[in-house]
Structure 1
Amino acid sequence: MIYIESFIDLLPRHKYDTDRVEMIKKMDRDKILPLLPGLLEWIQDINWPVAPSVLKILLTFPEEIVPHVQDVFSSNDDNWKWFIMHFLVIELPVESKVQFKEYLTRVSETPTQNELYEELDEIAKEILETL
């Protein structure tokens, strides 16, 4: 019988778990794909020690990360959206960024109170200018 590790077992266990992130970096791309949604959670705060390394991994999957980012954009976590927009989306190639155009346009033109508070309208405008 072959033991297959759960995807959750491969993800960082805490914000200082840079060893696990280094291990993920060495994995084959196809093995990292199922980890993308879990990895995205580790950039909820770019100040966490694991966040910059996780961000580098995520940026190597510009197309594959799009649906997972769209899930975050559908959530109510405007603070997480701020980190995603400032550190991930703005760095993606145009082909990936353009897939967020509808959301970015809505946020830039008719932001909610919380989006205004988090200044999501400003970063949305900045990203739209790169399209």
Structure 2
Amino acid sequence: MKDYVPQNKFDEKAIACLQSLPFEAVRNDVWELLEWLQDMNWPVAYDVAVYLAPHVNEIKDDLIKIFNTDDTLWQMWIICGLIGRSPIKPDAELLTIIRRIAEHPTKIEIEEEVDLVAKDVLEQFGGGA
């Protein structure tokens, strides 16, 4: 068990530990951290997102795996809760995925309003929708 990976949605000790570590120390456990972004209403989710936000391009492969799932709510939280908080512009591959959602959303992406958050993030990073 890694002390910096939350064990429950109220695990503030894990968050404090996570925030004290450089990204390189947790890189191999990014997937476990991203799982906490499946619902940004969980108390630990915000802090995990803030911690990972500067590293969206470094964790691109993990984010693409999420975009390749059927979990549109998780994708929405990744777009608005993580990528939308990033102080750096997402790389071209991530922006292409977000643009596809914004411009050619599936029925479920429309129902879950993932297309709307995708448009907002594209606008934020100068990608236009």
Which of the five TM-score ranges fits, normalised by the shorter chain? 0.7 to 0.9
Q: What is the TM-score with the length of structure 1 in the denominator?
A: 0.83
Which residue of 79, 82, 103 corresponds with 1:85? 79
Does 2:114 correspond to 1:128?
no
C-alpha contact 2:57 2:91 (8 A) present in aligned 1: no
Distance 2:61 2:20 in 1: 24
Pick the structure with greater CA Rg.
1
Q: Is 2:5 the partner of 1:11?
A: yes
Deviation of the 1:112 alpha carbon: 1.0
Distance 2:37 2:95 in 1: 21
Contact 2:38 2:74 survives alignment (8 Å) = yes
Larger displacement relative to structure 2 (68-77 or 58-67) = 58-67
Match of 1:60 among 54, 61, 71: 54
Distance 1:116 1:87 in 2: 18
Q: Which runs of 5+ in 2 are unaligned?
A: none
Q: Give the match for residue 20 of structure 1.
A: 14
TM-score (structure 2 length as normaliser): 0.85
Provide the aligned length of Structure 1 versus Structure 2. Answer: 124
Task: Return the offset for 1:60.
Answer: 3.2
User: Aligned letter for 2:47?
Assistant: S
Q: How many angstroms apart in 2 are the aligned matches of 1:87 and 1:47?
A: 10
Identity of aligned residues (%): 29
Does the Cα contact within 8 Å between 1:85 and 1:123 map onto a contact in 2? Answer: yes
Q: Unaligned regions of 5+ residues in structure 1, if any?
A: 1-5
Note the alpha carbon deviations across 1:52-74, whole angstroms, 9 max, x for none: 11112111323212221111111
Select which of 24, 29, 35 maps to 1:41.
Answer: 35
Distance in structure 1 (CA, Å) of the matches to 2:104 and 2:21: 42
The two structures, once aligned, show a CA RMSD in angstroms of: 1.8
Measure the CA separation in 2 of the matches of 1:110 and 1:57. 30
Displacement after TM superposition at 1:126 (Å): 1.8
Q: Residue type matched to 1:91 in 2?
A: R
2:83 partner amino acid: V
Contact 1:33 1:64 in 2 (8 A): no
Shift >4 Å, 4+ stretches = none
